[in-house]
Structure 1
């Protein structure tokens, strides 16, 4: 046995070292060699698992072992398909086309029951396209028949298209509009996806003239945090959950003419759609189904890996799972009703890529097997595998390390293995339930992903959280049982493996539970990070400043110096396109953040008005989303810790931003003049703001209601103040003091800033 362990160790170390050397190199050949080496090490692991670790004394152990082995085989197939799809991405560039030859475009914006303010942003973005006048028209496709949608379309100057009923959901809505329009190209946007003003100019030229290009898809970017990212705020958060698909997998599929339309932010050639009979209505995922139909008819597609629009990611865990359930249901319907392996007209590459998209949603049962398998041993004594720890670490370690290096190399920093496991864990129960569509594919209904959820304080319902909570409790019990076993009998191989495995599963569930506890957005309109020069006019002052974030409802400004803003109205000047707009506002808070003085303002104009004037600044600039995916994921452990504690500090983080003057913690020595010539006291500040201070006075003598405060080093310039509250301790008195004159504490605040 010692020879076998040594032999395994040498092979594993050699394979791991070779994989690391290939991963840290560059070039297509190195990437191909890394993928091949990783596949060999994985096949070695699977062969060893199948030949030497299965079996058991009881049928239950054999069944458990086979279930786990089947889950690992599924994971290996998924890994191969990921490599196949992402190994060779394309980078097309728009051709130069004279303006007179640009195709004419009908722009469709679809809506069902989403909030009208979300639709307004998208319509404004579509109307603001930098495209020749008269060569495009915007249409609002209302499947909900709402009068407010009709009124908005009329007010903004675009065409309203409604219909009687909502048969076939989104696909029926689009097909109805296709029959009422006639331009050469059709651009499609969901009501929450706002295009930059160059969207049509960067995409439509690809369709110039005839040809077999049927559709073009662009990347999806999301300007809000998904529930997992929100659960980790204010700490570091992972990349967007869909970044890997839109910036790695879709560009790779484009190499084989098999990228597919993803429901929004794409263009179609009308003649191709008409030949295919419009959008497919047999499944709830009309986007991928229609794409496959066009490919089967010999048409081409193109994927442009650019963030030319931005939309809303699901804002709650429930919305996230509703969306994934619809995708999984559509995938199961496609496997049953129009299987890509059997569909005539597809190339071999297209069959493989479409099959990969469908079988991905079979991950539910394998992931549940991964979650529960170690518990059978720790709680029931049923081992899912038979092995010795050194051999397992050697063979599994080389396989796992090579797999991590492949994901890191091909994934281009868009996803870590830990977060892939988290997302699969979050979806596994929902996707398992969706498998019933394999049995009854025609019974599924279309579910709209909730958008604009703003129910303050609402969290995921108990029925949604229960599976995570129950499994987490069972895993915690398993950890306790495993530790007890280690103390009693020492570190046996299978015990150590199952204990570490169970701890990892607990880590996977923590972000899921944190995401379930995230409340919905409170703001009516999102705030976007935008840094531009701005002007602030308040109380007769004209200040130059910079924006930190901007929204339809207000703005956060960075000031060079503090300003007394209590009770003041103001006007904020912002650059929007080629002009400067002036918006009336009122001060909400004034504080210090990250070493800068910041002031938050709410616009007093109606959101309808501010949305129109701020549309270009918020969404229209071509560089709006550049660099959004540059950040690489950090270590998994740090994120899990943040996920566990972020909610505890969320309330404190929010409460710290509510003052109308900034507060600094600094011990500034002050003189305190008492009224009626009663003398002076030496005091020291605890924290300082423009509107007031907290002070500490040695001794137990209470302070009078009115006092005058000034810097100890300055014999003049004391300002009148009112004592709001005071508390005595054994050695001192602490008091909260408010200045009578607005901004009266400017000199004290500057002294505090120097000290801090």
Structure 2
């Protein structure tokens, strides 16, 4: 069959592959950022010329076909527009770490009394003490001469008031929860007065050097906000449920490590709700408070300040660690809020269509990602099923040659360019699976918000005990399972000549390949929708083999600390160690009071220890050691294996046991 395809059908694809290899091998990152967006623009123009000229009508196309064809085209156009906006965005990139180094040296040489005061707001609603404690202890350990930590409690909890009083913290509440998080912060702004405000979500623990690395950027009077990335010390639902920690970063890394540095280069970075320092004088120019017209008040604040000449500067460094969504339910609460808020902004005067913005800023603040992601994935999953079961075509006059010449170059070009421009942070199959997984629940939220932008309540992402849950997402499992069955039935029916529904024989190979790919994606979606409980109560942090000791039966043994958590440690003793399972020992760690522990395992890497309920002083010292210092969560180095192969293996093989 492949011998029947005209040779010219392969040339665009071969030329694209050659270009991608050439650019990937080039030493110049700037060359890639100029050449690839331009090349993708040409490929898209070539595709659209063919699409409009040859695929909207033809022999045997009915009125119902026309409805489907034009609907499918509209979704494609939205996806292509979103892709080209992203390509344009990624044509620039800014790295502010060198400036942060310079600012930090300048601040270190400045009289501490001359440095401005900072109010630290820890916004909370229903988070348990084990979540709040980490954040507050980390905030109290910030290396800055004048810091006041305020707990903004919209849960109005007496136990938290008493706990804050015992710790000497500021505790603020209000009579109602009007305006949700933005209203909570605005109430605190009226009762505090430091010239700068660091906003932290209840689960984000700042490192000690957070303010030392960020405050220097305010030397530029145009800077209204300095934003640091959201990084996490626990796996997100995709990493957890598919057990892909070794090969796949969390799903927000593409945004924070690739897209935000690009946005910053265009002065289009935005406040992300937590880990951002705000200049109070800039707020004073826009009414002294955060805008409340959207449930994503952070992005709206950026747009309001942008119109007054203030920019948000982005520093892509790990300055705080927080909790990724701990369950699929928590994941969808978070993403639905983001999607609804981004769409709500479209309807506001301060949104991207309002006055006072440049054309590029309007483009970069359009919520095209939220609009296109779920729609495109839903269309891609449903179109071949509908075609095979009814014969209604999504696109006219297409066979294998047209797919090779026009469609594959667009898909492969976009994915290949994004992989190169993201420096490998983009993983195509993982992105498609996550998009399909999200579409089942996010598409209704997107469509209802487009029709009714007002009246959507702000829902806090569950954290800690409230987020834990097992089982599976019944809606997604049922929906994906139904599509798999329908896809299989369609393939079987059209494989048997006497049962065939599709009359256009040229389309059968195309749709068959499309359907098989969809079936693989849907099977991975089903696996992703089945929750796997976390393997540990607390995540471990790598300690760089720092000196430590263990006292066993009155004998002190020196050694090194391999890793550490709030509930245990892995310690490698110097020389033979007489420890056995269930032995009681005393652990000595720098900066932490001695902790009683039990031996829970003897491993080649060392002695596995579980702490026996450390007291408050020891627990807070552990929090400072783990979160305030520059320690990273324990991760196994990614081997040289394909992400695609690891994901496909999850369909056939059990997930590996944790180390």
Is this a same-fold pair by TM over 0.5? yes
Deviates most, 492-501 or 538-547: 538-547
Q: Which residue of 2 aligns with 1:288?
A: 299
1:212-231: CA deviation from partner (whole Å, max 9, x where unpaired): 32111111101110010012
Q: Matches of 2:508 and 2:62 in 1, distance apart?
A: 18
Tell whether the 8 Å contact from 2:33 to 2:90 is kept in structure 1 after alignment.
no
User: 1:618 — aligned with what?
Assistant: 626
Matches within 5 A, 1:192-207: 192-207=203-218
Shift of 1:545: 3.6
Matches within 5 A, 1:97-108: 97=107, 98-100=110-112, 101-108=114-121
Residues 216, 266 of structure 1: 8 Å contact kept: yes
1:539 matched to 2:553: yes
- Per the TM alignment, residue 279 of structure 1 is displaced from its structure 2 partner at its CA by 0.8
Q: 1:437 aligns with which of 436, 445, 449?
A: 449
Distance 2:307 2:242 in 1: 43
Specify every segment of 5 or more residues in structure 1 that has no aligned partner in the other structure, as ranges. Answer: 658-756
Structure-to-structure mapping, 1:14-413, within 5 angstroms:
14-25=15-26, 26-55=28-57, 56-92=60-96, 93-94=99-100, 95=103, 96-97=106-107, 98-100=110-112, 101-132=114-145, 135-208=146-219, 211-233=221-243, 236-277=246-287, 278-338=289-349, 340-355=351-366, 357=367, 360-385=370-395, 386-413=397-424
Contact 2:328 2:473 in 1 (8 A): no
- Structure 2 Cα separation of the partners of residues 492 and 238 of structure 1: 40
* Residues 1:448 and 2:456 are matched in the alignment: no
* Structure 1 equivalent of residue 6 of structure 2: 5
Once superposed, what is the RMSD of the aligned Cα atoms? 3.0
What SS is found at the alignment partner of 1:268?
strand
1:636 and 1:532 map into 2 onto residues whose CA distance is 30
**Maintained 8 Å contact 1:19/1:38:** no
Deviation for aligned residue 1:485: 6.4
SS at match of 1:644: coil
2:598 aligned residue (553, 572, 586): 586
- Cα distance, 1:249 vs. partner? 0.9
Q: Contact 2:387–2:394 (CA<8 Å) still a contact in 1?
A: yes
- The answer to whether the Cα contact below 8 Å between 2:540 and 2:633 also exists between their aligned partners in 1 is no
Q: Is the 8 A contact 1:437 1:443 kept in 2?
A: no
Equivalent in 593, 604, 609 of residue 601 of structure 1: 609
Equivalent residue in structure 1 for 2:589, among 570, 574, 578: 574
**Who is 1:705 aligned against?**
none
Q: Among 511, 514, 517, which residue is 2:530 paired with? A: 517
Shift of 1:37: 1.3
Preserved contact between residue 303 and residue 350 of structure 2 (Cα < 8 Å): no
Q: Provide the C-alpha distance between the structure 1 equivalents of 2:229 and 2:245, rounded to a whole number of angstroms.
A: 27
Q: How many residues align?
A: 639
Bigger radius of gyration among the two? 1
How far 1:396 sits from its partner (Å)? 2.5
Q: 1:637 aligns with which of 632, 644, 647?
A: 644
Give ranges in structure 2 of 5+ residues lacking alignment.
none
Q: CA–CA distance in 1 between the matches of 2:283 and 2:550?
A: 52
Q: TM-score, normalised to structure 1's length?
A: 0.79
Query: Relative to structure 1, is the Cα distance of residues 552 and 454 closer, same or farther in structure 2, using a 3 angstrom cutoff?
Result: farther
Sort the Cα spacing of 1:457 and 1:160 in 2 relative to 1 into closer, same or farther, 3 A. closer
Structure with greater contact order relative to length (CA < 8 Å, sep ≥ 6): 2
- SS at 2:175's partner residue? coil
More strand by share: 1
Distance 1:316 1:245, change over 3 A: same
Does 346-355 or 283-292 show the bigger shift?
346-355
Q: Per-residue CA shift, 1:328-347, capped at 9, x if unaligned? A: 11122111223634322222
Contact 1:20 1:405 in 2 (8 A): no
1:695 aligns to what? Answer: none
Match of 1:419 in 2: 430
Cα distance per residue 1:195-246 (max 9 Å; x no partner): 11100111112224x7232111111101110010012327734111011111
TM-score normalized by structure 2?
A: 0.90
CA displacement, residues 579-603 of structure 1 (integer Å, 9 cap, x when unaligned): x54211112233x3xxx24432221
Work out the CA distance in 1 between the residues paired with 2:615 and 2:485.
46
Q: 1:206 to 1:226 in 2, by over 3 A?
A: same
Q: Is the 8 A contact 1:414 1:632 kept in 2?
A: no
Instruction: Please give the alpha-carbon distance, in whole angstroms, between the structure 1 residues aligned to 2:593 and 2:538.
Output: 19
Cα displacement (A) at 1:122: 0.7
CA displacement at 1:166 relative to structure 2: 1.1
